[in-house]
Structure 1
C-alpha cells in the first residue's frame, strides 16, 4: 500500500442539492492521492479527477495497465441507458479498480447499480475485501434505503446530509447506530458524520463556494456560543462533537 493512502470505506448520503458532491470533492483534494478512479455518473468530477473522460471500459483498462503502480486519473461516465447495461458497466469498472489496487474509488449514485439485497459481485468483493487491496472507497447516494446493505454495513465512516424521506433516515440511522431524529433535524448543507474507527460522531456545515449563509441571531449574554453557527465558513473548520 502506498504510504499516503489509508484504505477505508466511506458512505456519503443526502438528498439532492444538500452538499454531497461538494464534500466528496473537498475530500479528494485533501487526500491528494495520485491514483483516483471515478464512476462519474453526472460528469461532475473534472476539477477533482482530471478533464479526460474515458469513453469505454477498454480505455479504462488501457490506462490502468499503462499506469502500473504510478499516477492514475480516470473518469468514467456510463453509456448504458437501461438498468442491466448500467449494472454491467459498473461491475466491469469495479473489476478494473480491484485490479488497479492502491487508489481512491468514487462511486456516484449507488442506487442505480445496487439494491438492498443485491450488488454486482465485483462491488461486493470491493466492499468486503477492497481494503486489503489498498482501495479507498467513497460511495454516494441520495436514496440510502435502496442501496446494497453490505456497503453501508462495512463503512468505516458515514457522512450524512439532510434526507427528506423517513425510510432513508431510518436506514442510515440504523447503520450509524444513532437516533433517526438527529438526522431529521439536519438543515441544508449541514451534515452528521460517524467515524467507526474512533466511534466519534461529529457535525458541521459544508457550503458551496461563495455561498453566504444567513447570520445566526446573537445569543443572550452569558450563554455559550454555538460552534455550528451557520453564519461561519465551516468547510475548513475543525469538526466538533455532536450533542
Structure 2
C-alpha cells in the first residue's frame, strides 16, 4: 500500500479573482489530470481531451501514462456524473483531480460518498485534489478540515470572512480589498499574500 503525503488544495473567492488561473497553473505540467468542468470553459479544455461520454472517460482514465481529461458530463449529468467521474479517478490512481465550482456538487455537511473517499483516503492511491469554489461558506467542511493548502482570493461575504478568520487570523481583514490575482496563501506553517500563479 502506498502512503503519499496528503495533497488537498483549495482555491476560493469571487469570480474573476484568479482562482481558476491558479488551479490551472498547478496542474499545467502534471502527467495525469482529470478536470471537472461544469461551465464548459475553453481554458480548461486547452490541451485536454474533452468528453461527456462515460465510456470514453473510463477508457481515458484507464490508459497508462500521460492523460489530460476535461470531464463535461457534470454540465448535464448532475451529482450522478460527479460521483461517476470520482469512481473513475479512484480506479485510475496517480492523478490530479480538479473539482471546479465544487460547491455545485457538495454541501457544507456532506460530500457524496465517493468524493468523500477521495478526500479521506486518496493519498493511498496517489490522488491529489484541487477544489475551486466561488462560495467558500458552502464548501464542504471535510475539504476545509483536511486541506493542506488554501489560496483565498478576494471575498466580501461576511460568513466567509468570519470563517477564514479562524484560519488566517487578522489577515482575513485584507480579503475584501485584495487585488485580482492576489491571494492569501494558507498552509499550516503560516499565511502570506502572493500573486497568482504561484507554486
TM-score (norm 2): 0.88
**Is the 8 Å Cα contact of residues 37 and 97 (structure 1) preserved in structure 2?**
yes
**Is the 8 Å Cα contact of residues 103 and 136 (structure 1) preserved in structure 2?**
yes
Q: CA deviation at 1:177?
A: 4.3
Larger radius of gyration: 1
Task: Tell me the secondary structure at the aligned position of residue 103 of structure 2.
Answer: helix
Are the structure 2 counterparts of residues 113 and 193 from structure 1 closer, same or farther at C-alpha, using a change threshold of 3 Å? same
The whole-number CA distance in structure 2 between the counterparts of 1:79 and 1:185 is 33
Is it true that 1:77 corresponds to 2:72 in the alignment?
yes
Are the structure 2 counterparts of residues 181 and 132 from structure 1 closer, same or farther at C-alpha, using a change threshold of 3 Å? same
Counterpart for residue 121 of structure 1: 113
Identify unmatched segments of 5+ residues in structure 1: 207-234
Counterpart for residue 25 of structure 1: 24
Q: CA deviation at 1:131?
A: 1.2
Is it true that 1:178 corresponds to 2:169 in the alignment?
yes
The whole-number CA distance in structure 1 between the counterparts of 2:12 and 2:140 is 13
The whole-number CA distance in structure 2 between the counterparts of 1:161 and 1:112 is 19
For residues 36-80 of structure 1, give each alpha carbon's deviation from its aligned partner in whole angstroms, at most 9, with x where no partner exists: 110012233122xx2421122221111122x13x22221101355
Counterpart for residue 35 of structure 2: 38
Q: CA deviation at 1:7?
A: 5.1
Are the structure 2 counterparts of residues 128 and 79 from structure 1 closer, same or farther at C-alpha, using a change threshold of 3 Å? closer
Q: CA deviation at 1:162?
A: 0.3
Q: How many residues align?
A: 195
Identify unmatched segments of 5+ residues in structure 2: none
- Larger strand fraction of residues: 2
Match of 2:148 among 143, 151, 156: 156
Task: Tell me the secondary structure at the aligned position of residue 73 of structure 2.
Answer: coil
**Is the 8 Å Cα contact of residues 15 and 143 (structure 1) preserved in structure 2?**
yes
For residues 84-122 of structure 1, give each alpha carbon's deviation from its aligned partner in whole angstroms, at most 9, with x where no partner exists: x41111111111111111111110001100001111101
Counterpart for residue 52 of structure 1: 49
Counterpart for residue 128 of structure 2: 136
Structure 1 segments (4+ residues) deviating >6 Å: none
Counterpart for residue 101 of structure 1: 93
Are the structure 2 counterparts of residues 79 and 150 from structure 1 closer, same or farther at C-alpha, using a change threshold of 3 Å? closer
**Is the 8 Å Cα contact of residues 144 and 172 (structure 1) preserved in structure 2?**
no
Worse overlay, 179-188 or 34-43 = 179-188
* RMSD of aligned Cα (Å): 2.2
For residues 124-172 of structure 1, give each alpha carbon's deviation from its aligned partner in whole angstroms, at most 9, with x where no partner exists: 1111111111111100000011121101110000001001211122233
The whole-number CA distance in structure 2 between the counterparts of 1:177 and 1:125 is 27
Are the structure 2 counterparts of residues 16 and 52 from structure 1 closer, same or farther at C-alpha, using a change threshold of 3 Å? same
The whole-number CA distance in structure 2 between the counterparts of 1:28 and 1:79 is 20
Q: CA deviation at 1:200?
A: 2.8
Counterpart for residue 193 of structure 2: 203
